[in-house]
Amino acid sequence: MESKTWMWVGRIASGLVVLFLLVDGGFKVFYPGPAIETTGQLGYPEHLIFPIGVIELLCLAAYVIPQTSALGAVLLTGYLGGAVATHFRVGSPLLGFTLFPIYVAALMWGGLYLRDSRLRALVPFARQAEVR
């Protein structure tokens, strides 16, 4: 699976995730006005919006740096899992809101898998031919 096409598919998938999470975290940190209403509807007090955004952006930074991308993916998986739990708690629609963080996480891990040979070696989907 060393195809340049698959590498670019992985980069594009990762780029979409990074763009989405950068906008989401950026609104929480730099433009909290729109985030106040949305986050308040999820049951979080206003004073937590900034720290949540900082945590999201720090995890995203770890994902973007190639040497720490797997750690960043693990941290973001935890962050997105919290988002799923929050949406379940407030009774958000299942497909539109509650499962959306899982879609983001799947795209994130898929992009990382396609662009990082170390992860492909760790989690091979196709069995390698045995050398005798």
- Give the pLDDT of residue 99: 96
> Cβ contacts of residue 58 below 8 Å, gap of 6+?
none
pTM equals: 0.89
Evaluate whether 30 touches 130 at the Cβ level (below 8 Å): no
- Asked if residue 118 lies in contact with residue 70, where contact means CB atoms within 8 angstroms, the answer is yes
pLDDT tens digits, one per residue of 20-42: 999 999 999 998 888 888 888 89
Q: Regarding predicted confidence, which is higher, 126 or 81?
A: 81
User: What is the reported pLDDT for 35?
Assistant: 87
Dihedral of CA atoms 26, 75, 70, 127 in degrees, nearest 10, equals -120
- Share above pLDDT 70 across residues of the chain, in percent, rounded to a whole number: 93
pLDDT of residue 2: 63
Instruction: For residues 113-126, give the mean pLDDT.
Output: 88
Q: pLDDT tens digit string along 96-116?
A: 899 999 999 999 999 999 999
Least reliable range by pLDDT among 15-24, 33-42, 123-132: 123-132
